[in-house]
């Protein structure tokens, strides 16, 4: 279960590199250590490029809201900026992406209800 947290400034959290993802860092806001479900701020550095990894899928639900900057979805050939939102059910193919200017996103991951 994610912890009970009252309002706090996310600026109190340091950006940490995301292992195995060069140019990506995170501020984990809430984490359920038992399931790995989380809410985090995710930052892509200017020049970020995930095309070498190709599209991705995963077994959890993922919701993403772009807060600043922009990204280009290479597969969709579309650019998305601040205010754009995505909801991805388990197994949905998405990406790869590039981000010339970088971007910051709010991401929430959770398991689907049975």
Q: Report residue 59 as tokens.
A: 């077994």
The answer to whether residues 43 and 64 touch, using CB atoms and an 8 Å cutoff, is no
Say if residue 69's pLDDT is above 90: yes
Residue 12 domain-assigned?
no
Residue 114 domain-assigned?
no
Per the structure, how many domains does the chain have? Answer: 1
What percent of the chain is helix, strand and coil (3-state, nearest 5)? 5, 45, 50
Mean pLDDT of 76-84: 97
Per the structure, the complete domain to which residue 53 belongs is given by 17-109
Residue 68 domain-assigned?
yes
Residue 25 domain-assigned?
yes
Say what the pLDDT of residue 54 is.
93
pLDDT bucket at 114, cuts 50 / 70 / 90: low
Per-residue H/E/C for 37-62: CEEEEEEECCCEECHHHCCECCCCEE
CATH code for the domain of 94: 2.60.120.10
Q: Is residue 34 exposed (0-12), middle (13-18) or buried (19+ Cβ within 10 Å)?
A: exposed
Mean pLDDT of 48-72: 96
Q: Read off the pLDDT of residues 35-52 as tens digits, 9 standing for 90 and up.
A: 989 999 999 999 999 999
Residue 6 domain-assigned?
no
Model confidence, pTM: 0.94
């Amino acid at each position: 279960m994610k912890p009970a947290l009252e309002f706090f400034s996310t600026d109190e959290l340091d950006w940490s590199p995301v292992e195995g993802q060069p140019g990506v860092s995170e501020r984990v806001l809430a984490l359920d250590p038992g399931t790995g479900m989380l809410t985090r701020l995710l930052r892509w550095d200017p020049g970020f490029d995930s095309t070498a990894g190709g599209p991705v899928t995963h077994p959890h639900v993922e919701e993403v809201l772009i807060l600043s900057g922009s990204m280009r979805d290479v597969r969709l050939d579309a650019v998305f900026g601040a205010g754009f939102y995505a909801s991805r059910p388990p197994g949905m193919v998405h990406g790869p992406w590039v981000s010339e200017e970088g971007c910051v996103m709010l991401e929430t991951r959770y398991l689907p209800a049975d």
